Amino acid sequence: MTTKAIFSPIQVGKHQLQHRIVLAPLTRLRATLEAVPTDLQTEYYEQRASPGGLLIAEATFISHYAWKKVTSAVHAKKGVIFLQIAHLGRAGSKQFHPNGKQVGSSSDVVIPGENYMGPPFETPKPFTVKEIQSTIQDYRQAALNAIEAGFDGVEVHAANGVLIDQFIDSSVNTRADEYGGSIQNRARFALEVLSSIVETIGPNRVAIRFSPDGKMHGMGDATPIETWSYLTTQIQNLFPELAYLHFIEARGDVYGETSNVHDSLTPYRSLWKGPFITSGGFSNSLEQAFQIAEQTGNLISFGRIFIANPDLPQRLLNGVPLTPYDRSTFYTHDAEGYTDYPNFSKHT
């Protein structure tokens, strides 16, 4: 299974990685009800850390004291860890907001269908321009908190139908002001968030994640190639020293077992000159992952299979059989299916 490219070093931000196998950001509900990380999460990330390996921690509400345990444990193993920071927008719920405040979005478009992860989707309130500017400052403060907590950088979540994606996507954003209408206007919020964070913590500590063609949370842009090509071009022009761009290859069944069998990210790779992470369905398509790494030099992020194999880089390097994952334990609240997967030993 070994392939030269995926095990070769690469510079990401200020860090020299020793391989290109990345832990994808995964929501797994192991924090407290107050969204504070626990010792279980410290153990989880410590298990998956490797010298010169990049981990991207789950999208989170910052608690800089608790997260210090996690970042210290990863750094003790000479690993690198970025934190994904996110605002859910219309994908959230007022029951988790102070005083039951209504969820907000680019427009008042409700997510269609049933919410499999919680209460029914709500009708969002369109953000005012003042609220947009305030939210940009919230992202900035979250990035500062992440650095204080010891993270090596932040990945701005702009994929999978979260708030920034809701501004980008033409099927959701029906605004008629400077944040709606044209591709340039719909991209404005994402670029302003990046600009604020870059000015605050430096470009080599900042990354962003996109999902062109993504359907999660009712997304469906009319011209995805044009939309995300514009965004990628602007980022290349404005923030060429960004740590990396992280693109998700769209899959039809996000919650299922489908594999990634094609590659639609070529248009964006040709526009971005820095490190590029490819994500989406590789847990059941390792050969495709290795081929993409070989053909493009991309870093490859793994989710489900990295849960079940905490020492995934070592297993892939040594051709060791992989432990299957148990989907039924993904969104539970204890150690089972989270920190109880075994490491392999070359001596057994």
Rounded to 10 degrees, the C-alpha dihedral 267/269/273/276 comes to 150
What is the C-alpha separation between 126 and 117, in angstroms, rounded?
23
Q: Which two tokens stand for residue 158?
A: 């702009």
Instruction: List domains and CATH numbers for the chain.
Output: 5-329 (3.20.20.70)
pLDDT at position 347 is 38
Q: Are 211 and 248 in contact (CB under 8 A)?
A: yes
Residue that has been written with the tokens 């969002």 in this structure:
124
Q: Report which of 308, 262, 253, 320 is spatially closest to residue 283, judged by C-alpha positions.
A: 308
pLDDT at position 255 is 54
The values of phi and psi at residue 154, to 5°, are -125, 145
Q: Are 275 and 11 in contact (CB under 8 A)?
A: yes
Max intra-chain CA distance, the chain: 64
What is the C-alpha separation between 195 and 181, in angstroms, rounded?
21
pLDDT at position 284 is 83
pLDDT at position 263 is 81
What is the C-alpha separation between 194 and 200, in angstroms, rounded?
10
187 dihedral zone (left: phi>0; alpha: psi -120 to 50; beta): alpha
Beta strands in 15-121 (DSSP E): 15-17, 21-23, 54-60, 80-85, 104-105
The dihedral built from the CA positions of residue 245, 251, 257 and 259, taken in this order, carries a sign that is: negative
In DSSP terms, 16 is beta-bridged to: 11
Q: Are 5 and 291 in contact (CB under 8 A)?
A: no
Rounded to 10 degrees, the C-alpha dihedral 142/35/125/194 comes to 20
pLDDT at position 212 is 95
The dihedral built from the CA positions of residue 333, 303, 239 and 216, taken in this order, carries a sign that is: negative
Q: pLDDT per position in the chain (348 positions), as tens?
A: 456 899 999 999 999 999 999 999 876 565 555 667 788 889 989 999 999 999 999 877 544 457 899 999 999 999 999 999 999 999 988 877 767 789 999 999 999 988 876 788 999 999 999 999 999 999 999 999 999 999 999 999 999 999 999 999 999 999 999 999 999 999 999 999 999 999 999 999 999 999 998 888 889 999 999 999 999 999 999 999 999 999 998 754 555 556 556 788 999 999 999 999 999 888 888 989 999 999 999 999 998 999 999 999 999 999 999 999 888 777 666 778 878 899 986 434
pLDDT at position 280 is 84
Q: Are 308 and 324 in contact (CB under 8 A)?
A: yes
Residue 256 identity = G
How far is Cα of residue 57 from the mean position of the Cα atoms in its chain? 8
Q: Cα dist. 266→68, 153, 184, 270, 272 in Å?
A: 37, 26, 21, 6, 10
